[in-house]
Structure 1
Amino acid sequence: MALVDCDRVAEIRVRGWRSAYRGLMPQSYLDAMSVPKDAERSRARLLQGDGSVVNIVAERDGEIVGWACHGPYRDGEVPAGGVELYAIYVDPARQGTGAGRALLDESLRRCTAAGHTRMYLWVLQGNTHARHFYERAGFRADGTEEPFEVDGAEVPEVRYARDLTV
């Protein structure tokens, strides 16, 4: 992902949150999300990053339709060889076209090639659509759950894991 991609990726991310998390977290929080602010945060992260976080975009007909991001595991202890998938978002108008699966496959491929042996991710407990997507790709809930609060509402997360094969 390049700096010029940040605006489109932010648009996809904000639209993705508003679509995927409607009814799972306060609507006031989703409504307050800002594409320009999200794009600015993305640009800052890219400029300040050390290269350990990998951003991938999916394009169709020259337009970015999705984005994925992975890197070092962020929360607490993780067994050696583990990596975390931070996010996958596809423009809601392009869901079901294979872009999400292509992004996931590319993240898995890159992490395996880098020598990682296990990938983790966090998903909202109530996000059944995403949970099924990850389960179809071989991820399984590993029994670890985290409380997550958004604007005073509890939206617990479940950790999923998948072994990576060389």
Structure 2
Amino acid sequence: MTLADCDRVSEIRIRGWQRAYRGLMPQSYLDSLSVAEDAALRRERFTRAADGGGGEVVNLVAERGGAVVGWAALGPYREGEVRTGDAELYAIYVCGDHLGSGVGHALLEESVRRAGTRGQARRMYLWVLRENTPARRFYERAGFRPDGTEEPFEVEGTAVPEVRYVRPLEG
């Protein structure tokens, strides 16, 4: 991912939230999400990482025909404020017209591959909304399994609990 990709990544991310979480989160919250605000934050983070701060996050993009059509982010697993030796998939989104085309699978497999080649990580974790059945099936097809850990997550007073998934890494 480059700095120039930040605007497109934000568009994919925000539209992905609005599509995937419809009916799982308050619609007013989803409607309030701003591509411009997300892009500004993403550019700031990218610039800070390029200047040597927070460079432990890996941002990947998938392109088709020279256009960014998907994005994934991974790094150390976060247990509260502590970074552990394991890996975490922080996010993965594909633009709507490329869903089901293999872009998400390619991003996920490259994320797993990179996590397995970095440091001593033995596992890769991710969090997914408990009620997001399509995403859960996607991760399960890729070898991730729920490990029984759930975490509360609340949006505008609505509970949207998350389930933790894990997959062993090959070093």
| Normalised TM-score (structure 2) | 0.93
Deviation at 1:80, TM superposition (A): 5.6
Mapped pair 1:102 → 2:102 = no
CA RMSD of aligned residues (A): 1.5
Mapped pair 1:123 → 2:128 = yes
Following the alignment from structure 1 to structure 2, what is the Cα–Cα distance between the partners of residues 51 and 23? 35
| Structure 1: gaps of 5 or more residues | none
Quote the sequence identity (%): 64
Mapped pair 1:48 → 2:48 = yes
Q: Which residue of 1 aligns with 2:13?
A: 13
| Structure 2: gaps of 5 or more residues | none
Q: Which residue of 2 aligns with 1:138?
A: 143
4+ residue segments displaced more than 6 Å: none
Q: Which residue of 2 aligns with 1:26?
A: 26
Following the alignment from structure 1 to structure 2, what is the Cα–Cα distance between the partners of residues 84 and 30? 24
Mapped pair 1:82 → 2:73 = no
2:166 to 135, 158, 161: 161
Following the alignment from structure 2 to structure 1, what is the Cα–Cα distance between the partners of residues 170 and 75? 17
| Normalised TM-score (structure 1) | 0.96
Following the alignment from structure 2 to structure 1, what is the Cα–Cα distance between the partners of residues 78 and 115? 16
